Structure 1
């Protein structure tokens, strides 16, 4: 992996979509719908994931006239990307659990009157 990726909430949503079915090829509109991100957020994330070696992308081999739509670019986690995505999501969940536990530790339950 060449470029480190900062796993923000937006990146983690995209990774979570890939992790739902790591063997599936996903295209942009599919990823936008599943992650809830608009194209202006999604495509820069996909580019960063590609540059880091976490995601591969290939163009669909289809005749746009026969298909009635443009060719799609399909994205899939690489083997390294799969391992890293799982580790990063687990680390993020652990951080959130710790933060949630710290919040709960300082909160007392109201006493019945």
Structure 2
């Protein structure tokens, strides 16, 4: 059974942050700082978003020797479309949200 519900406010934050720099990959730590989410919220959310094909994750070589590789996260086309759709609904006057 497919559930069709609105994204959480945490997912909206992540989508908005990734949409700001769509072409560039973002590290989880950067997303933590920008969204204000805890790591226990952000990383499971990114995994779910990857499973839903909203975000793609890939390993990135370390910038400095001796550091571990890190994941880089990017919005997919469907993730970007959802981010834009949510941005449009967030900008709508509050009276129209109650009618929808």
TM-score (norm 1): 0.72
1:28 corresponds to which residue? 28
| Divergent runs of 4+, >3 A | 2-6
| Alignment: residue pair count | 97
Distance 1:98 1:4, change over 3 A: same
TM-score (norm 2): 0.80
Distance 1:81 1:56, change over 3 A: same
Return 5+ residue gaps in structure 2 as ranges: none
Note the alpha carbon deviations across 1:18-65, whole angstroms, 9 max, x for none.
11111110011011011111100101111111111110000013487x
Q: Secondary structure at the match of 1:75?
A: strand
Q: Secondary structure at the match of 2:53?
A: coil
Q: Secondary structure at the match of 2:16?
A: helix
Residue among 89, 94, 98 paired with 1:98? 94
1:82 corresponds to which residue? 80
